[in-house]
Amino acid sequence: MTVQASRLKTFARSLGFAFVGLTSPEPPPHLREYNEWLAKDHHGEMSYLATERARERRTDPRQILPDCKTILLAALPYAPARGEPIAAYALGDDYHDVIPRKLRELMAWLENETGRRIAHKIYTDTGPLLERELAQRAGLGWIGKNTMLINPRGGSYFLLGEVLMDFELPPDPPFTADHCGTCTRCIDACPTDAILPDRILDSRRCISYLTIELKGSIPEGLRDRCSGWVFGCDICQMVCPWNLRFAADLAPDPDPLPRRALPLNLNAELSLTPEQFEAKYKTSPIKRAKRKGYLRNVAVALGNVGGEEAKRALEESLQTETEPLIREHAEWAVRKLQCT
């Protein structure tokens, strides 16, 4: 590693990134598997993954930045779940805002360090990149059986950001070991059987997909299995031995993805008006589901959690709610509670 690369990683860690790696812009070796995943419709309604332009750009990062010489991968950690019905990352500020801001600061530092302008593109779960594969190639970890990137010193509770740049730095050696071994805890624990063999995820059955990406009705056969989750799911991470071993030590102090106070009373959540929802979740990832998707999830969760208060909240919602998607799921939940 050059002195410049070492100093860059040191500064990145000062910004809160737990792990930083560098790789070349070579085409991803697992593109065939990705296209097979799309061909089997495992991406569900996430059509933006399958457009011809997106697929072409994923074949070669240089189609995004023609003069790209280096890709930087940075992992921002977040605190593990504490029993909330929301994926742990979503309890903090929206990483789509936090990570690009930190990466812009990192690039400003590098430009000052090198004395030259560096053409670059910054992404975090937003661009046509196979980011976990790039991260593995940059030495940040291996892709586990739950399809999450797992670092042997920190588990998987982190979010990835990428910088494509026209500045050459020596690539890090790829992470080639597979430390999942014979463990199948994530596969066994998934309540919707979304984790398939050979490190394949059927998004259409994943609770995170059902509560975030899916914009219409949650299939009735899967509603029971969503349990109390209202935005995302952490089950496959919660049972992973690498998280049980390391995640508590990885969580930084202070957290670079600071948690917000979200006192979650699902009965009260169901009565959020559009204005209240916007005010409460304006800077939260939860806004991605929009009010109708989020309250759809809350209705299903209340039907699964049960109790008289839940039933009363659902019945009261049906008296005032006009959004058809929310009403459909609230009616399902009431019917379920009436049968228990």
Quote the pLDDT of residue 261.
59
Query: What is the mean pLDDT of the segment spanning 176-193?
Result: 97
Type of residue found at 160: L
Quote the pLDDT of residue 29.
84
Quote the pLDDT of residue 117.
96
Residue-wise DSSP of 4-21? HHHHHHHHHHHTT-SEEE
CA separation for the pair 189, 170 (Å, rounded): 40
Domain ranges of the chain: 1-221+229-257, 263-335
The single residue of 41, 67, 125, 188 carrying the catalytic annotation is 125
Tell me phi and psi for residue 65, to 5 degrees: -130, 100
Query: What is the mean pLDDT of the segment spanning 190-196?
Result: 98
Query: What is the mean pLDDT of the segment spanning 300-313?
Result: 96
Residue 125 annotated to the active site? yes
Quote the pLDDT of residue 3.
67
Query: What is the mean pLDDT of the segment spanning 156-183?
Result: 96
> Where do the DSSP E strands lie in 78-144?
120-123, 142-143
What are the structure tokens assigned to 300, written together?
């299903």
- The secondary structure of residue 124, as a DSSP letter, is S
pLDDT at 154 exceeding the cut of 60: yes
Least confident of 32-36, 187-191, 214-218, 222-226: 32-36
Residue 275 CB neighbours (<10 A): 9
Q: What is the pTM of this model?
A: 0.93
Quote the pLDDT of residue 252.
53
- Give residue-wise pLDDT tens across range 136-148: 999 999 999 999 9
Using CB atoms within 10 A of its CB, is residue 157 exposed (0-12), middle (13-18) or buried (19+)? buried
Tell me phi and psi for residue 149, to 5 degrees: -80, 130
pLDDT grade for 158, boundaries at 50, 70 and 90? very high
pLDDT at 129 exceeding the cut of 70: yes
Helices (H) and strands (E) in the chain, counts: 15, 8
